[in-house]
Amino acid sequence: MIQVVSGIFLVLHGLVHLLYVGQSQKVFELQTGLTWPDNAWTFSRLLGNDATRILASVALIVAAIGFVGGGIGIFASQAWWRPLTLGAVVLSSILYLLLWDGTVQRLDQQGAVGILINIAILVAVVVLGWPEFSF
């Protein structure tokens, strides 16, 4: 049962990253007035908002593939789910930190919740060695 729940959780976490692709490409707004990733404290000043949105989209797609792949690895009883998931955790967390606008306002709209989820995954997998599957 924990194998199914863990796999579904990783797949859903990856799919949420794809929602942020839609947000970053201005296909839709996840929330009214949300401008993420515009004005990112690192890339927007260096590359401009248009290039930052493209960079964000590509990185988010790679992170989503990592999380979905990790979930599929769990369903398929493959040990490679761990390194794939951990790579997605690191990429996703760094991405959201670099695309933050530098303010402490509206952190929930800038990936803070995703970073907290990533930290929980990291602690569970690396520190606690959980979940431990029999494959």
Residue 104, pLDDT score: 79
State phi, psi for 123 to the nearest 5 degrees. -65, -45
Residues 6 or more apart from 84 whose CB is under 8 A from it?
Answer: 66, 69, 70, 73
Residue 31, pLDDT score: 86
Q: Report, as ranges of residue numbers, the positions in the chain whose pLDDT lies below 50.
A: none
114 within a domain of the structure (yes/no) = yes
Residue 131, pLDDT score: 83
56 within a domain of the structure (yes/no) = yes
Residue 50, pLDDT score: 96
133 within a domain of the structure (yes/no) = no
Summarised one tens digit per residue, pLDDT across range 10-39 is 999 999 999 999 999 999 998 888 889 999
Q: Which domain, by its residues, includes 51?
A: 2-127
Residue 62, pLDDT score: 98
109 within a domain of the structure (yes/no) = yes
| Number of folded domains that form the chain | 1
85 within a domain of the structure (yes/no) = yes
- Closest-CA residue to 8 (of 91, 60, 106, 74): 74
121 within a domain of the structure (yes/no) = yes
132 within a domain of the structure (yes/no) = no
